[in-house]
Structure 1
Amino acid sequence: MTTRAKHLVSLLLAPLLGACLLAGCDSGPRADDDTSQSPRQRERARQVADAWRGSAAATAWSQGYYPMADAVQAPESGWHSQADEHAYENRNFALRGKLPAGTAAQGKVGWPSGDTLTRPLWAAEQAYRSFALDDGAGPRLTVTGAKLGTTTIATSRGTATVPAWLFALDGYGTPLKRVAVTPSKLPRSPIASTSQGSAGGLWSIPEMTGSAADGRSVTVEAAHGACDDGPVVRALETDESVVLYASVAGARSGPCTAQMLMQDVEVELHKPLGDRVLLDAVAGRPVPYGEPGGPSPSWS
């Protein structure tokens, strides 16, 4: 697990309530990991699941294109050095060639089922600027050109074949790939969001950071403070959705330092996620993959 500190404007002035367990099909850490129970948290998760079941939003979600993996894919050969890997992580690139100026306006997303969807296509320059900052110190990766091709990516409907810009890198025999089609617009949630800390101490889940190859677990980012035992994320599973609800275990009373910690938490599921929609109990809407404003958003 990785932990990242993020500063807040104010102190955490009150303790957070510990996390709860769900009965039945609810999943999470072992039952003896946390003894605190909160029916209000459980009820909020059920409300979100019930609201999405059979809703117009669920129908739109099942018919859209929502990538659930990195839209930027490293060369198949892997990075040649730690310096190159750091340059990629820091989005430190240099452009030493011309990028294609004109492209088709639309691209086709295809699934093994035979379903297809036409989506707007990014221009090469726009795709390049989504992952390249070009303004950092230290080692850089050099892009020498690009052409339009294809790649595969995990989506909310399974693995899809999509158009991608293939960026040639100096010194590499395989390209850096950037998915070239835009995600579908997120449907309006059938249930309103609730406030942070409500429903017995619920906190939102800002992003999904990964999933197991067999779909039986997801890794998400969850928040906690400096005066507790860390975040706990639990799941309410139905046939149509998996509702994640996060809280904090072992909160201690008194003011804490002006920071909030973000930690990756792996949540085990009773069955593979599949095409079930992954929902956040606080926001009442799907959990995005990656930062919504980053190079790999789950939707536009």
Structure 2
Amino acid sequence: MNTQANRRVGPLLAPLLGVCLLAGCGTDRSADDGRANDQPPRAQEKRAREVADAWHGSAAAAAWSKGYYPMADPTRPPESGWHSDADKRAYETGNIVRRGRLPTTGITRGKVKWRSGSTLPRPLVEPNTAYQSFAHHNSAGPRLTVTGVKLGETTITTSRGTATVPAWLFTLEGYDTPLEQVAVTPSSLPGPPVGRAGQGSADGLWSVPRLARTAPDSRALTVRATHGACDDGPVVNVLETDESIVLYATVTGARSGPCTAQTIEQDVRVELRQPLADRVVLDALTARPVPYRS
């Protein structure tokens, strides 16, 4: 399989504290371990190539090509735009309340429809479950009010291109256009075609749990990478093939000695040599596709 040159990309945004996923955050390592060099360690690149080769022609690749995997935010603000900065802040913080109870529905399945003509039945979530996915708080300050909901459709970018999907259309007080929430659930991620590497082990790999921003015609991705409390942050390398983009993440400035056992998540921008298109994004640590905001 033809591969293109790998690159190293540094942190983009300030870190966010995450749930502790491992005890290896405080593992003793020399000051040089995990530090960004001109060339990534051979073991890490070898692992990325192993994952790319294993994915090619695998049962996991076949399952991925037939499933429904969103590659964009399933919640879409009103088409008319926000009336004020306060409303925008309310949406971004999830400070959204509802007036009255949301209806239940006897419809349990919907259909994903791609422009190619392919379709896929998927379970439909209840309106209240969809509401809770974007309404996280009921606190003082700017807030939005949901006054009703009905079932409709929207479009969303997926791993197989743009698809039309069922959506719950939530009416917001004071708005003529609804807030749209995709109403069908994604397919389960396929199992990895090769075993998982050891996190924080001698190969120095860390996880890339999710994609934060993508665009099929873009030569860049923004991913959420992990690192520990005793280092200077994540570094994400990329190995590109015609079929896949394998991300292999490490940390820079790892320090030895006592360290709290926690995992920090941080957005990292990854530059690509070619547009994303329909290539799958894989995590070298887990050998699984990297989902969008899982």
TM-score range, shorter chain: 0.7 to 0.9
In 2, Cα distance between the equivalents of 1:164 and 1:200?
43
Identify the residue that residue 161 of structure 1 maps to in structure 2: 164
In 2, Cα distance between the equivalents of 1:3 and 1:36?
25
Identify the residue that residue 282 of structure 2 maps to in structure 1: 279
How far the C-alpha of 1:250 sits from its partner, in A, is 3.2
Identify the residue that residue 2 of structure 1 maps to in structure 2: 13
Q: Tell me the SS of whatever aligns to 2:147.
A: strand
- The runs of 5 or more residues in structure 2 that have no matched partner are 1-11
Identify the residue that residue 30 of structure 1 maps to in structure 2: none
* Contact kept in structure 2, 1:19 and 1:38, CA below 8 Å: no
How far the C-alpha of 1:239 sits from its partner, in A, is 1.8
Q: 2:84 aligns with which of 81, 84, 87?
A: 81
Q: 1:18 aligns with which of 25, 34, 39?
A: 34
How far the C-alpha of 1:259 sits from its partner, in A, is 5.4
How far the C-alpha of 1:39 sits from its partner, in A, is 0.8
RMSD value, Cα: 2.3
How far the C-alpha of 1:199 sits from its partner, in A, is 5.0
TM-score by length of 1: 0.84
* Contact kept in structure 1, 2:35 and 2:254, CA below 8 Å: no
261-270 vs 165-174, which moves further: 261-270
Identify the residue that residue 3 of structure 2 maps to in structure 1: none
- State whether structure 2 residue 225 is matched by structure 1 residue 222: yes
* Contact kept in structure 1, 2:216 and 2:276, CA below 8 Å: no
- State whether structure 2 residue 174 is matched by structure 1 residue 171: yes
Give the 3 Å change call, closer, same or farther, for CA 272–235 of structure 1 in structure 2: same
Identify the residue that residue 105 of structure 2 maps to in structure 1: 102
Q: Identity, % of aligned pairs?
A: 60
Partner AA of 2:161 in structure 1: G
- State whether structure 2 residue 203 is matched by structure 1 residue 200: yes
Show the 5 A alignment for 1:1-300.
1-6=12-17, 8=20, 12-15=26-29, 17-18=33-34, 34-212=37-215, 214-256=217-259, 260-290=263-293, 292=294
In 2, Cα distance between the equivalents of 1:189 and 1:127?
29
Q: Tell me the SS of whatever aligns to 2:26.
A: coil
Partner AA of 1:2 in structure 2: L
Aligned residues: 278
* Contact kept in structure 1, 2:54 and 2:194, CA below 8 Å: yes
- The runs of 5 or more residues in structure 1 that have no matched partner are 21-33, 293-300
TM-score by length of 2: 0.86
In 2, Cα distance between the equivalents of 1:267 and 1:177?
29
How far the C-alpha of 1:252 sits from its partner, in A, is 3.9
Give the 3 Å change call, closer, same or farther, for CA 105–259 of structure 1 in structure 2: closer
How far the C-alpha of 1:289 sits from its partner, in A, is 0.9
In 2, Cα distance between the equivalents of 1:226 and 1:126?
35
* Contact kept in structure 1, 2:68 and 2:187, CA below 8 Å: yes
How far the C-alpha of 1:198 sits from its partner, in A, is 2.5
* Contact kept in structure 2, 1:233 and 1:244, CA below 8 Å: yes
Q: Tell me the SS of whatever aligns to 1:85.
A: helix
In 1, Cα distance between the equivalents of 2:258 and 2:38?
24
